[in-house]
C-alpha cells in the first residue's frame, strides 16, 4: 500500500503493488534494499573485486538499472503529458491535481532542472518513502493490538471524528487525531523505521569529555537512544502519554529522533504522518485488532529498515458500527 501511495503522490503513476507483487519495479526495489544492507554489514564487500565476485555487484547494477529505467520512462511520459496539458490549459483554463513529479517538471520547463536531476529527486522519495512508512504502520498496529485500552481510545477518537461515515479523510480530520498521533510517535520511539543513521564530523568536537576528530563518522542509533531510561520512564513499555505536551516539554529535543534531526532531517516526515493517520483511521473505522503472541516475542531486527522477526501476525475482527 505504501509503495502505491508514494508512486501516486511522487510520480503520478501506480505499480499496483498490493495486487502485483511480481512487478519488476517492486521486486527490484525490494532486492536493492537487501543488497545495500549486505554491503553495509559486510565490510569486505566494499572491496570492488569482492563486491562483483560474490555476485552482489552484478545484482546491484541490474536492479538499479531496472529502477532508474522505470523512473526515466515515467518522467518522459509525464513530460509529454505536461507539455500537452500546458497547451490545453492555456485554451481551457482547467486546473489539475499535481504530483511531486509535476512540480519538478515545472522547474525543468524553467531550465532549473534537467532529467537526471528530476530522476534523482523522484528516486529519493520512492526509496525513502515506502518501506519506512510500511514498517511504521506495521509496528503501530502491532503495538495497538497488545494494548487494547490504548486501541479503544484510538477507536473512540476516530468515531468522534467520522461518526460512522465512510467519507474520505480530510486535512481537518487529520488535525483532530491527536491521540492517534501520540500512538504513532510512541511506536516510532520503540520501533524507529530507520534504526541508525550517520553524520560526518566537520570539526573537532568534544562530547562528555570524548574527542570526536574532524573527518570521522558518527553513527546514531535511535533504537537504543529512544530507550534511554534517563529520558523515558519504563522505556520498553508502549505509552502514548510519553508524547503529552507536559512530558515533551521536560525532555531534550534530541531524545526522540525517528526522522533524524537538524538541517538534514527527513524531508517527508509530515507527509508520512498524514499518510499513516489516513490509513490507520480508515482501518479502525471498521475493525479492531488482537494477538495471541506476546508483545516482546516480536524482536526488532535492524536492517536498512527495522524489520519484525516474525512479521506482524495479528487477528483482525469486525467491530460494531458507530452508534
- How does pLDDT run along the chain (323 residues), one tens digit per residue? 667 777 777 777 776 666 666 778 878 888 988 899 899 889 999 999 999 999 999 999 999 999 888 888 888 888 888 877 765 554 444 555 667 788 888 888 888 888 888 888 888 777 777 788 999 999 999 999 999 999 999 999 999 999 989 999 999 999 999 999 999 999 999 999 999 999 999 999 998 899 999 999 999 999 999 999 999 999 999 999 999 999 998 899 999 999 998 888 888 899 899 999 999 999 999 999 999 999 999 999 988 899 999 999 999 999 987 76
Q: Pairing state of beta strands 210-212 and 300-302?
A: unpaired
Backbone φ and ψ for 205, nearest 5 degrees, come out as -135, 135
Gyration radius from the chain CA atoms = 22
Instruction: Pick the closest to residue 183 from 259, 271, 277 (CA basis).
Output: 277
Domain boundaries, the chain: 2-128, 137-318
Alpha-carbon distance of 132 to 275, in angstroms, equals: 12
Alpha-carbon distance of 91 to 254, in angstroms, equals: 52
Q: Which three cell numbers stand for residue 75?
A: 518522467
- What is the DSSP annotation of 11-60? HS----TTT-TT-HHHHHHHHHHHHHHHHHH-GGGGSHHHHHHTSHHHHH
DSSP H or E run through 307: strand 306-308
Which residue(s) pair with 219 in the sheet? 198
User: Is residue 273 within 8 Å of 258, Cβ to Cβ?
Assistant: no
7 is in an annotated binding site: no
Superfamily of domain 137-318: Cytochrome P450 (1.10.630.10)
End-to-end alpha carbon distance in the chain: 30
Alpha-carbon distance of 80 to 85, in angstroms, equals: 9
Amino acid at each position: 500500500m505504501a509503495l502505491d501511495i508514494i508512486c501516486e503522490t511522487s510520480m503520478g503513476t501506480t505499480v499496483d503493488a498490493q495486487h502485483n507483487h511480481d512487478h519488476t519495479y517492486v521486486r527490484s526495489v525490494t532486492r536493492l534494499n537487501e543488497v545495500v544492507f549486505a554491503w553495509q554489514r559486510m565490510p569486505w564487500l566494499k572491496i570492488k573485486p569482492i563486491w562483483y565476485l560474490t555476485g552482489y555487484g552484478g545484482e546491484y547494477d541490474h536492479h538499479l538499472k531496472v529502477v532508474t529505467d522505470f523512473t526515466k520512462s515515467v518522467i518522459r511520459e509525464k513530460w509529454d503529458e505536461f507539455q500537452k496539458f500546458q497547451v490545453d490549459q492555456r485554451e481551457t483554463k482547467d486546473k489539475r491535481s499535481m504530483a511531486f513529479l509535476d512540480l519538478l517538471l515545472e522547474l525543468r520547463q524553467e531550465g532549473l532542472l534537467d532529467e537526471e536531476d528530476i530522476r534523482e529527486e523522484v528516486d529519493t522519495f520512492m526509496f525513502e518513502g515506502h518501506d519506512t512508512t510500511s514498517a511504521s504502520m506495521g509496528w503501530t498496529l502491532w503495538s495497538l493490538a497488545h494494548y487494547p485500552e490504548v486501541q479503544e481510545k484510538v477507536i473512540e477518537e476516530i468515531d468522534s471524528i467520522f461518526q460512522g461515515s465512510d467519507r474520505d479523510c480530510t486535512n481537518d480530520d487529520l488535525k483532530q487525531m491527536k491521540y492517534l498521533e501520540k500512538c504513532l510517535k510512541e511506536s516510532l520511539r520503540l520501533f524507529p523505521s530507520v534504526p541508525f543513521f550517520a553524520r560526518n564530523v566537520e570539526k573537532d568536537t568534544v562530547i562528555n569529555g570524548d574527542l570526536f576528530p574532524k573527518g570521522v563518522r558518527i553513527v546514531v542509533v535511535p533504537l537504543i537512544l529512544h530507550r534511554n531510561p534517563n529520558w523515558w520512564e519504563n522505556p520498553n513499555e508502549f505509552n502514548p502519554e510519553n508524547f503529552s505536551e507536559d512530558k515533551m516539554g521536560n525532555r531534550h529535543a534530541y531524545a526522540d529522533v525517528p526522522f533524524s534531526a537538524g538541517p538534514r532531517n527527513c524531508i517527508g516526515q509530515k507527509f508520512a504522518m498524514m499518510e499513516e493517520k489516513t490509513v490507520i483511521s480508515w482501518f479502525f473505522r471498521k475493525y479492531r485488532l488482537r494477538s495471541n503472541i506476546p508483545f516482546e516475542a516480536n524482536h526488532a531486527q535492524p536492517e536498512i529498515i527495522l524489520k519484525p522477526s516474525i512479521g506482524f501476525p495479528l487477528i483482525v475482527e469486525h467491530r460494531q458500527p458507530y452508534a
